[in-house]
Amino acid sequence: MNTFYHTNLPPHLRILKDEIEGYAREYGLDFYETIFEVVDADDLNEIAAYGGFPTRYPHWSFGMSYEELKKGYDYGLSKIYEMVINNDPCYAYLMRCNHTVDQKLVMAHVYGHCDFFKNNAYFSHTNRKMMDEIANHGARIRGYAERFGEDEVEAFLDRCMSVDDLIDIHSVAIRRRGEHSRYDFNEQSGEEDPHANRFKSKDYMEDYINPPERMRQDEETARHKRDSKPDRGFPEEPEKDVLLFMIEHAPLKPWQRDILSIIRDEAYYFYPQAQTKILNEGWASFWHSTIMTQKALEPAELIDYADHHSGTMATSGKRLNPYKVGIELLRDVEERWNRGQFGPEYDDCDDLDTRRAWNKKLGIGREKIFEVRRVHNDITFIDTFLTPEFCVRHKLFSFNYQNQQGQFVIESREFQMVKQRLLFSLTNFGKPFIYVLNGNHRNRGELLLKHGHNGIDLKLNHARDTLVHLQKMWSRPVHLETMIDDKPTLLSFDGTDHTAQTIGESDENRRNTPAKTR
Amino acid sequence: MGQKIERDLQRFRKIVRGKVKSDLRKYISRGEMIGKKGNDLVSIPLPSIEIPQFRYGSKNSGGVGVGEGQPGQPLSNPEGEGEPKAGDQPGGHILEVELTLEELAEILGEELALPRIEPRGKANVVSEKDKYTSIRRVGPESLRHFKRTYKNALKRQISSGTYVPDDPRVVPVREDKQYRSWKVTPQPESVACIIYMMDVSGSMTDEQKEIVRIESFWIDTWIKRHYKGIERAYIVHDAVAREVDEHTFYHTRESGGTKISSAYELANKIIDSRYPPNDWNVYAFHFSDGDNWGDDVPKCLEILSKQLLPKVNLFGYGQVESPYGSGEFFDHIAELAAAEEKIVVSKVPDRDAILGSIKEFLSTGR
């Protein structure tokens, strides 16, 4: 991929790279080989518009991001300093015209990210050869565009992008259902593997490990269960991975199915980055500040460094800056674990002075934050480590939408409120939960979706338009159960008309149960 | 570099301009970035297309912010893009960094056909262009033709025996030197003249004059972009017509009766004296509220069909809607237009209709 951009790392940056990499390793960071590429602002904007992958498939939406980045850069409003790709080796881009001190800072920051990519549990399933994979995706989609027409392929991509967030982010960690192949047609006929509960064993141990009597019993109960279940649903359980359901069951042409699975693959590759935004940026910022202030900074560079660092941490307006929250919370955790400010004894202490002066000199803070970066994502990170003291110190508040005034107002500075709002905005990336309830609704092959309503209504015009896109893929009418103004409502689109009808309460309850138990 | 994104960017721009994929049109939003240029705030237009997805509505929604403020205090715009601190810029107004006129004309023109301006009267406007196609023995050093000079020097040295293969130094002397030189090529340019006529009589309200000005401005911009050497003439008329300069045309306010024939007569006179149709492509546009002095109509039509039409490439008549007049002139001229394909008529009831009307005028490609 070096062919497109002029990327040779100039000698002085190569020396810097070795220096910074050395510091990073001294501190115990552990990362894949990292390749820095030096590019011009235009190229960097282009790469950023493609989500970091210069070989991505063509689509106008990347042109749109590019225009925004380019205008922002041209008018001096915004500037991308760093761009790093979760891949093995890691690719990171440096802007050619940056000062040396900026390049240092960016490198230190990048090593933080690389370490995070490699070690954080939520990235463990991602494809580390994504650079190649995305190039393959691009080539495939370009091939389809040539064979089936650009307009056709683009229109289908538009449709895919409308639903590309309907994935099940936990499915990589939980086995929701048995291995399923779309070529395995037996499954749909209801036949299950009779030996499902059999343990693996050598021949001579077979009777001991899988006693025939027990096996028979199991089969008996399984059959009984299967027979007593009056109507096996399709899907059996509400399916959150709507994309997978479409791929497996929608009447798509082979090339459409392939494009949809490309979109899904990329969605699964990218979501951990959204899922760990605060922690990941916090971690990288923690390391750039540690490496710079303790090791790499020359006295003459101090002002520039401080300017750049504070710019990154600045809060614009009243918006939460993930860099700031992340780094502060990590520092807080390190400090608390250094001083032993955790555990039941500390939690039960009501005396403010004692709490403040609490110091058991444990010195296990560094160890703790390495653990945090290994096992946490944003939600669990905030849930576990956000403290009332932290909220006060950083002036966090929660806001909500006032329906009458038609604007957002500050709601509260109560710890519980703040934490709840923050966690909510991170849950499912702040997007509604949509499940497939039935792929054969009314026994007419219609698609029934369910919005797992949790207090906030859907944006109706968008929901309707999204239904249109889904309908075009599914080709039969599609329905969405949701709540509008506390009334259970069924939004439908049959290919020509939208309808919305209030549905009976009893119906609602029955369907509600499986969704809620998850 | 940059080739791939360029395609996606062009595609995006086409969609935004509504050239392709009209089904996406309703998702286009005209956002802006606020930037600073000197002391002024400037608004940088930033169109975007939001693909619909399942999203939360704003009702009952909320989030977490950082900073000062009491519960109950409204937030100005929590999700807004890095809003400018309007507070420390009292009275600072926002300028628009809009598209340049050129760009606008281009956007406009994507749906129009160019007027087919015929190459008439070559003698009239000819520009000369220098092309460096020949060689001379004298000239400035900056134009020295290195290859030829070197060859000459080499030839001379070999034939005179001063060339040593082991020490292949070639030193040109004055006689060896050759210089690039130019030839003048005449470039005929299209010559065209546009005559704008506007009714400024009392029955035309300010709003209507404004519409006329906007429309003629755009026609002007469009034609100017595509042809060099275009001359324009402006005529305003009420009961009498007079030729004015561009500024007066766009800024004049008058009142009085209406005699359209006076303008046509004057236009005819101008064409005869200054823009003989043998040498010029003549375009005439007339804007009025169609409220003419009753007895004048036959005279107008006669001048138009007998005198003007044979001399012009296109005659455009645009009629604005008048609160007073009958607008009957439109019917008369429309009758004539049915027979004469050089006449294009169009109604401009309000500002929104301007674009459509320009299209009607120019899409004929005459």
Buried/exposed code over B270-305 (b: 16+ C-beta within 10 A; e: otherwise): bbeeebebeebbbbbbbbbbbbbbeebbebbbebbb
**pLDDT class for B15, splitting at 50, 70, 90?**
confident
Helix axis angle, B101-109 to B206-226, nearest 10° = 90
Q: pLDDT by residue (tens digit) across A90-101?
A: 999 988 888 889
The DSSP symbol for A125 reads T
B204 and B340, same structural domain?
yes
Say what the pLDDT of residue B111 is.
55
Question: Quick check: A414 and A399 in contact, CB under 8 A?
Answer: no
pLDDT at A508 over 60: no
- Asked if the model's pLDDT at residue A321 lies above 70, the reply is yes
Task: Report the complex ipTM.
Answer: 0.78
**For residue B94, what pLDDT is reported?**
44
Q: Count the Cβ atoms, other than its own, within 10 Å of residue A253.
A: 12
Rounded to whole angstroms, the Cα distance separating A180 from A187 reads 8
Segment B174-233, tens digit of pLDDT:
888 999 988 887 766 667 788 898 888 777 777 777 788 778 877 777 777 666 667 888
Ramachandran angles phi, psi of A401, nearest 5°: -90, 125
State mean pLDDT over B308-318: 85
Q: List chain A residues with CB under 8 Å of B5.
A: 45-46, 49-50, 62-63, 66
Per-residue pLDDT reduced to its tens digit, A203-240: 787 788 778 888 888 777 777 766 655 555 678 888 88
Is pLDDT at A129 greater than 80 in this prediction? yes
Count of alpha carbons within 13 angstroms of residue A429, beta-carbon side: 19
Domain boundaries of chain A, sorted by first residue: 11-120+276-299, 121-125+157-175+231-269+432-518, 314-426
Place of tokens 């040498």: B279
* Residue of A63, A320, A432 lying closest to B65 (CB–CB): A320
User: Is B104 contained in some domain?
Assistant: no
pLDDT-derived band at B113 (thresholds 50, 70, 90) equals low
Burial of A66 (0-12, 13-18, 19+ CB in 10 A): buried
pLDDT at A183: 47
Q: Lowest mean pLDDT: which of A152-156, A221-225, A307-311?
A: A221-225
Average pLDDT of the residues in A18-40: 92
Q: Which domain holds residue B239?
A: 192-362
Q: What percent of chain B has pLDDT above 90?
A: 4
pLDDT at A145: 93
Positive or negative, the Cα torsion across B31, B35, B40, B41?
A: positive
- Shared domain for B228 and B357, answered yes or no, is yes
pLDDT in tens, B332-353: 888 887 877 788 888 888 777 7
On whether the CB atoms of residues A454 and A435 are closer than 8 A, the answer is: no
Same domain, B163 and B202: no
Between vectors from CA A444 to CA A191 and to CA A453, what angle results, nearest 5°? Answer: 90
Question: Would you state the pLDDT for residue B139?
Answer: 87
pLDDT tens sequence across A59-70: 999 998 888 888
**Class of domain A11-120+276-299 (CATH, top level):** mainly alpha
Residues B1, A61: C-beta atoms closer than 8 Å: no
Question: Quick check: is B214 in a domain?
Answer: yes
Cβ distance B64 to A398 less than 8 Å, yes or no, reads yes
Q: Are residues B132 and B231 in the same domain?
A: no
- A495 pLDDT band, cuts 50/70/90, is confident
- Cβ-defined contact of A66 to B10 (cutoff 8 Å): no
Q: E strands within B17-164?
A: 28-37, 40-49, 62-66, 94-96, 126-136
Q: Which of A240-244, A487-491, B52-56, B351-355 has the lowest mean pLDDT?
A: B351-355
Quick check: A190 pLDDT over 50? Answer: no
Could you tell me the pLDDT band of residue B95, with boundaries at 50, 70 and 90?
Answer: very low
> Among B187, B218, B238, where does a domain finish?
B187
In a domain? residue B157: yes
Same domain, B341 and B308: yes
Say yes or no: B42 contacts chain A, CB-CB below 8 A: yes
In a domain, B116, yes or no: no
Residue B246 shares a structural domain with residue B262: yes
Do B343 and B217 belong to one domain?
yes
CB contact under 8 Å between A71 and B44, yes or no, is: yes
- pLDDT (0 to 100) of residue A188: 44
Return the pLDDT at B21: 61
pLDDT beyond 90 at A143: yes
B321 and B352 both lie in a single domain: yes
Task: Kindly report the pTM of this predicted structure.
Answer: 0.65
Residue in the block written with tokens 């005659």:
B315
Q: How far is B71 from chain A (nearest CA, A)?
A: 5
**Is there a single domain that holds both residue B32 and residue B172?**
no
Rounded Cα distance, A380 and A378, in Å: 6
Q: List CB contacts of A184: < 8 A, sequence separation 6 or more.
A: none
Closest CB from B7, B20, B35 relative to A58: B7
Across chain A, mean pLDDT equals: 85
Q: Cis (ω within 30 of 0) for the bond into A235?
A: yes
- Residue A323 pLDDT: 92
Of B57, B70, B82, the CB nearest to A458: B57
Sequence-ordered list of residues with C-beta below 8 angstroms from that of A43, at least 6 positions apart, any chain: A5, B1, B2
Q: Identify the residue among A401, A421, A486 best suited for mutation to test binding to B, counting B beta carbons within 10 A and taking the highest.
A: A401
Using the predicted structure, report yes or no on whether residue A196 has a pLDDT greater than 80: no
What is the arithmetic mean of pLDDT over A165-193?
Answer: 61
For chain A, say whether B29 makes contact (Cβ under 8 Å): no
Contacts of A366 (CB under 8 A, 6+ apart): A334
